[in-house]
Amino acid sequence: MVDIGCGSGRFLVWLAKNSGERRNYLGLEIRQKLVERTQFWVTELGLRNVYFMFANATVSFEQIVSSYPGPLSLVSILCPDPHFKKRHHKRRVLQTPLVDSITKNLCLGGRVLVQSDVLDVATDMRERFDGYSDVFEHADRIDKDLQCDNEGWLLDNPMGIRTEREIHAELEGATIYRRMYQKTRCFLPDYSIS
């Protein structure tokens, strides 16, 4: 599992400590001090199935995950920086090259979870993955335990643990918009020249 923009890493540390599944966890974060602090906690706790890396996932995700020998079964992008100003939208983490790389490297049956407490950001992420409907299905169409509202947003967090941002936002009365996708077909990049 890869968590893009893992922040303080507590979400992944909790998963690594408490998940009954045999799974490795990788947190990618653009703020180096957070990575150093979190990796210190991992060492102190003696966890061997979680690692945090200083990286700009928008440009380095492909290089990082393509070198991993096992399957990539889950990618999460949880409450990324919203970059509210229109001229800064290009700084949002989820850009087309990253979606392409996630789509290419995720194993068949693998899932992607996107969530934000900012509707505009959640909608942007959703539209990017909806653009790959030939590869991804909304996971609630496959897994009937995942319930959605009338707009298609998941009603509950499917991970069993909330992020710090999620907890803070909910305490402030904000809605969390989340969507999960499952890869049902192989990704064939379009090499046609326009």
Closest listed residue to residue 79, CA positions, set 168, 181, 145, 12: 168
Q: Say yes or no to pLDDT of 91 above 80.
A: no
Residue 59 is predicted with a pLDDT of 87
Confidence of residue 86 (pLDDT cuts 50, 70, 90): low
152 torsion bin: left (phi>0), alpha (psi -120 to 50), beta (else) = left
Domains in the chain, CATH or no CATH each: 2-183 (3.40.50.150)
List the catalytic residue out of 3, 81, 143, 156.
Answer: 81
Q: For the purposes of burial, counting CB atoms within 10 Å of the CB of 29, is it exposed (0-12), middle (13-18) or buried (19 or more)?
A: buried
The percent of residues above 90 in pLDDT, for the chain, comes to: 62
69-75 mean pLDDT: 92
- Token pair recorded at residue 96: 């087309």
Given a cut of 80, is residue 20 above it in pLDDT? no
Whole-structure pTM value: 0.88
Residues 6+ apart with CB under 8 A from 146: 139, 140, 154, 158, 180
Give tens-digit pLDDT for 32-69.
999 999 999 999 999 999 999 999 988 899 999 988 88
pLDDT at 117 over 50: yes
81 is catalytic: yes
Give the burial class of 127: count Cβ atoms within 10 A of its Cβ; 0-12 exposed, 13-18 middle, 19 or more buried. exposed
Say what the pLDDT of residue 35 is: 95
Output the pLDDT for position 52.
95
Cα separation values, 14 from 26, 58, 159, Å: 13, 25, 11
* The residue type at 190: D
Looking at every residue in the chain, the average pLDDT score rounds to 87
CB–CB of 23/49 below 8 Å?
yes
**What's the pLDDT at 88?**
44
Residue appearing with tokens 């989820």: 94
Closest CA to 31 of 49, 57, 66: 57
- % of residues, the chain, pLDDT over 70: 88
